[in-house]
Every structure is written in C-alpha cells, then in structure tokens.
Amino acid sequence: MGVELVQERWKGKLYTLTIGREPNQVTVGGDSTLPFLDLDGGTYSRPVSALTVLDQRPENWPDTLAGAWGDVLDDPVKWAQRCVELGADAVVLRLISAHPERGDRSPAECAATAKAVAEAIDRPLIVLGCSVDEKDAAVLPVVAEALNGYNCLIGQATSENYKTVVAGCLAHGHSVIATSPLDINLAKQLNILMTDMNLPPERIAMDPSIGPLGYGIEYAYSIIERKRTGALLGDRMLAVPVICLVGEEAWKVKEAQTTDGPEWGADEPRGVLWEAVTAASLAQAGASIFVFQHPEALRQFSLQIDALMGK
Amino acid sequence: MILIGERINGMFKDIREAIQARNSGSIEDWARKQAEAGAHYLDISTGPTVPAEEQPEVLRWMVETAQGVVDLPCCLDSVNPDAIRAGLAVHRGKAIINSTSADQERMDVLLPLAAEYQAAIIGLAMNEQGVPKDANDRLALAMEIVANADAHGLSTADLYIDPLVLPVNVAQEHVVEVLETLRQVKLLASPPPLTVVGLSNVSQRCPDRPLINRTFLVMAMACGLDAAIFDVNDEPLVDAAATAGILLNREVYCDSYLKVFRKR
C-alpha cells in the first residue's frame, strides 16, 4: 500500500539578506520551509559560515584555540586574510579594543581598522562592536561611515542603542544585527522598532543570543525554531535570518577551555567539537549565519552541512 | 486571523447610492479605509436592491473600483452565480466566493466556478430547509460541502465553512451550537476546512452591538475560528481579535502587537 506523505503548506518565507560587494556577495534567507527539509517542495538556503577576527590580541584564549592561528593574532588584516584562506564565507571583525576596559579605543581608530580589514579581503565583512551599548553607539556609526560602499552587516544593535546604530547603517548602506537577550518577544519587538525607522527587513539579521552546548542551548534552539515556524506561518516581523555567535559562546565554557580534564579525553578536539556541535544543533533549529572562532570547527560544521544537504 | 471588511455592501446607504449613480467615490474610500485598518479581504456585495440582470455588471464594476485603489483580494458576495462569475473574471489575486449553501444545485454551479478560477469559497451550513437547529445538523451539511468540494478537485484548504450565526436576541440557543460547530468542523477533513462567520449578525437589533460582537469574536476564536466578515474599522473589535490571537498563542507576543496585527 502506498503511503501518502503529509505535507505542510507554509504561506510565509524568510526575507533575503545580501551582504558584501559584487562579485563576492553572500546571500542568506529566502527559506520557505524548515531547515534541510526537501519533502514539502519548499526551499532552504545553505547556512553561511564566518570566522572571527579580534582587533587586538585575544586575552584568555586557550592554547587549543589561539594555537590554530599562530602569528596572525596581532594583526587583524593578516588574520582576516587567513580566515579567507581557510574557507570562511564571510569575516567577522570584533572591535573588542573599543571596550572601556580593553583599551577604550576611539571610534576613529576602530573605523581605521575596519577599513583596512575590508580592503584586504574579497569576502563580505561583518562588524561587531564591543558589546557595551553606549560605546557601540559611539563607535558603530563612525565605522559604518568608513565602510560606506562595502555593504556590511553591523551590530550589535540592542534595545538601548539601536537608534544610533540603525541611523548610521541606513545612511551608509549597511545591514544591522539586532541583538536581544534570549527572548523571542523582545527580539520581535526590536525588529519592529528598527523597521519603524524605515530600515527594510531585508537589511536585518537577528542575533537572539545563544547558550552553547550544555549551557542553555535548549533555550536558543527553541527560540530559533519558534521564530522559524512563526516566519513560515506568515509573521513578517520574525522573518529575518538568524545569526549565531557560536564561537564566542562555546569557547567560554570550562569543557572547551580546560586542560585539566583527563576524564574528558584529549583537549585538542574537545573545544572544536563543542563549537561545531553547538553550531550544527542551531542550524537544525533554523539559524542562517554562524560565526566561528576555530577554523577546524568551521570545517567540521561545513562537512555536516554537506551531509545534510546530500552532497 | 483573516479579516474580511464588510463595508462595501449595497445594504449600506452610501454604497447603495454610489451604485445607483455609478459614482466610485464611496467604494474607493471604504476600500482604502478598510485596507488601512488591516483588512485582508474586502467583501463586495451589490446588496438586494440591484435587479438580478444588472448584478453581474455592477459587481464587476465594484471589484474593479475597489481593486483600482488597493491591492487587496475580494470576497465576492452574491447569491447570483452570474454576478460571481463576472466578478471573478476581472478579479486580481485569489478571491473568495461568498457563498454556496449545501443545496446540491448551488454546489454544482459554484464549486466548479471556484475550481475554474482557483478561488476559495465559503460554504454555508444550511440548505433549502433553512438553518439547522444544532451543531450536529450543521456539521452534517458542512460534510456534504466538504465531500462535494473534494469531488470537484477543490482543496479543503480553500474551503471556508460558515456555521451561520443568528442574532442572539431572537435565536439565543444557536450561539453555543455555532461554537460547537466551529470546534468540530476541523475534524471533517485533512487539511481541515477553514471557518468563517458573518460576525455582525450576532448582534442584530441589540443595544451595544460592538460589545456583543467583540465578545463573540473572542469566544469563536477560542473555538478555532479562522476568518470573520466584520467592521474592520471598529478599533476595539480589531484590538480584541489581535489580543485573542496573542492569548491563544497564534502569534508571537511583542509589545507592539496591536500595531503589527494591523500591518499584516
């Protein structure tokens, strides 16, 4: 007896976000079904994988992570070029030196670094501030101006600083990362507030905040999944692609960092696996852009995605 | 929740006068006003005063007039299949035919029309014997419409069942039967048929009609109602629909939910 497949018919789809300059643009979104699901006749897009560059030598990175990068850690331009060589679809520049306790660099200094990195790579650039709302409000508009024409993705805009970040990105042709604290209701509200400033939804990526494996990944998973189904059911304020900062979160946990856990097996692959598995899980929930720190985690994630997409 | 704006109907004096004078002003005004209020469809009815032979031409003109100013699909509301066909012929987008009853001769004409134009259609849970007294009889008629729609190749996802709301001041016992029908219609087929009510009928000739309308709308939504034909410019009513959608977990909550609801 034949079995008839039960098919969902979704009426909504994700907005399409394109970043970077021709001919090196990257597009995410446009998905009209659940991730990696072919049966319903909908389409889904391949997740985009990015590697992180810090604008100053990282503090407190375990050797298993820092060792993967060697001598480029002091030079954001070389580091960004290495990211491209290692297969990143996009490069993320984290302006950590703007942090009041990490150097408190000025907006102009940050903008100069961002411009130098953008000029040195033939991949789209994603720029993150230092995650201090007031400082990012001062830095990001200046960075946006310096990067005019590069069509970057810039964040993190929060409920506290989105007005200045969005204004800067609107004026200089960039897209914006909307960051909210693991709360789908606040995430939706922030999208509404940003589109109320006439930022097109096609120029927003949502960063719902994530917890890594073992540290609240369930919350991130369920929020991303609910957002995806809400979007497919027609909620346009949830229909923007999701970006996940998996590297930063995964390498914070003790299981990834410690060199004193013999019962957990060898140190070298543990952190990489923590990062890759966190990303692979959230890809299945429906996120679109993944920001890694370890190149091997990006490589393993890409193999997973190849397998899921039948390649 | 699908909002179908009821206002472009010849039963209203300004629309009736507009039809008589073939003056598009009021129809255009109400098309715009209802679109701004968040309507997803515009119900379009000539009303009973237009002679049957003129109805096709009038309905076609009304559809063209309304769609000339807003980009919304219409709910073509007439008992005259010729008028429905004339409206469908010029309609842009996916129309809703309003409506067929469960009478075989009506279904035999209107269901093929829906299939031909890939339109959705409202099936009234009544026949030539009138409106059934209870939920079971309404459901039996709904099932006949479901079966006939299937026979004509129409997906149940394009079929709206209207359990028929009667005024609470003269047919009070019908209200709970309508609610029960709404619950059970979803069990008739897969994918389940959609449900719709002509909301304002519940409060005919009652004092404080808006209160009755919005109380009933929320109750019906809790029973699974998908769509309603009503006064979309009644702001508290639309607010109630938006709030019920949040409380029923149909929409993801956010502080601006009332505003977002109207934008969709």
Nearest residue, CB atoms, A189 vs list B190, B251, B255? B255
Contact with chain B for residue A48, Cβ under 8 A: no
Phi, psi of A135 (to 5 degrees): -70, -40
- The yes-or-no verdict on residue A30 having pLDDT over 80 is yes
Q: Which of A258, A244, A225, A257 is nearest to A292 (CA)?
A: A244
Give the pLDDT of residue A9: 79
For residue A199 the two structure tokens come to: 């930022």
Please name every residue paired with B5 in a beta bridge, in sequence order, or none if there are none: B42, B230
Q: Categorize the per-residue pLDDT at A262 as very low, low, confident or very high, splitting at 50, 70 and 90.
A: confident
Nearest CA distance, B46 vs chain A (angstrom): 31
- The yes-or-no verdict on residue A1 having pLDDT over 90 is no
**B239 within domain boundaries:** no
CB contact at 8 A, B99 and B124: yes
Question: Per-residue pLDDT averaged across B217-221, rounded?
Answer: 98
DSSP secondary structure letters along A193-211 = HHHHTT--GGGEEEE----
Give the pLDDT of residue B240: 98
**B91 within domain boundaries:** yes
* CB-CB neighbors (< 8 A) of A185 in chain B: 252-255
- Of chain A, the percentage scoring pLDDT greater than 70 comes to 98
Residue in B3, B254, B255 to test binding to A, most A beta-carbons within 10 Å: B254
- Of chain B, the percentage scoring pLDDT greater than 90 comes to 97
- The yes-or-no verdict on residue A6 having pLDDT over 80 is no
Mean pLDDT across chain B: 96
Give the pLDDT of residue A265: 86
Nearest CA distance, B20 vs chain A (angstrom): 39
CB contact at 8 A, B99 and B125: no
Q: Which residues of A168-182 are buried (b: 16+ CB within 10 A; e: fewer)?
A: bbbebebbbbbbbee
**Segment 142-201 of chain A within 8 Å of chain B by CB:** 184-186, 188-189, 192-193
Strands (E), chain A: 16-19, 26-29, 48-54, 90-94, 125-128, 153-157, 175-179, 204-207, 243-244, 289-292
Bridge-based pairing of strands B227-230 and A48-54 is unpaired
Q: Domain of B8: which CATH number?
A: 3.20.20.20
**B248 within domain boundaries:** no
Look up the pTM and report it. 0.89
What ipTM did this prediction achieve? 0.83
Nearest residue, CB atoms, A235 vs list B157, B252, B256? B252
Tens digit of pLDDT for each residue in A227-261? 999 999 999 999 999 999 999 999 999 999 888 88
Nearest CA distance, A186 vs chain B (angstrom): 6
Q: Do A192 and B254 touch (CB under 8 A)?
A: yes
Q: Do A192 and B251 touch (CB under 8 A)?
A: no
Tens digit of pLDDT for each residue in B124-181? 999 999 999 999 999 999 999 999 999 999 999 999 999 999 999 999 999 999 999 9
Q: Which of A27, A24, A62, A3 is nearest to A270 (CA)?
A: A62
Residue of A nearest to B261 (CA): A235
Supply the range of the domain harboring residue B9: 2-232
Question: Per-residue pLDDT averaged across A50-64, rounded?
Answer: 95
Q: Which of A210, A209, A212, A221 is nearest to A270 (CA)?
A: A212
CA distance B213 to B231: 10
Residue A123, SS3? Answer: coil
Tens digit of pLDDT for each residue in A207-235? 999 999 899 999 999 999 999 999 999 99
**B263 within domain boundaries:** no
The phi-psi region of residue A195 (left if phi > 0; otherwise alpha if psi is between -120 and 50; otherwise beta) is alpha
**B165 within domain boundaries:** yes
- The yes-or-no verdict on residue B264 having pLDDT over 70 is no
Give the pLDDT of residue A266: 84
Residue B77, SS3? Answer: strand
CB contact at 8 A, A182 and A208: yes
Q: Do B252 and A238 touch (CB under 8 A)?
A: yes
Contact with chain B for residue A34, Cβ under 8 A: no
- CATH no., domain A26-308: 3.20.20.20
Give the pLDDT of residue B165: 97
Question: Per-residue pLDDT averaged across B175-204, rounded?
Answer: 96
Mean pLDDT across chain A: 95
* CB-CB neighbors (< 8 A) of A227 in chain B: 252
Tens digit of pLDDT for each residue in A153-166? 999 999 999 999 99
Nearest residue, CB atoms, B256 vs list A9, A189, A226? A189
**B259 within domain boundaries:** no
* CB-CB neighbors (< 8 A) of B263 in chain A: 236
Nearest CA distance, A189 vs chain B (angstrom): 5
For residue A272 the two structure tokens come to: 């990489």
- The yes-or-no verdict on residue A31 having pLDDT over 70 is yes
Nearest residue, CB atoms, B252 vs list A9, A193, A230? A230
Nearest residue, CB atoms, A235 vs list B191, B251, B259? B251
**B110 within domain boundaries:** yes
- Spans of all domains in chain A: 26-308
Number of A–B residue contacts, CB under 8 Å: 33
* CB-CB neighbors (< 8 A) of B259 in chain A: 192
Q: How many CA atoms lie within 13 A of B219 on its CB side?
A: 16
Q: For tokens 């028929």, what's the residue? A: B164
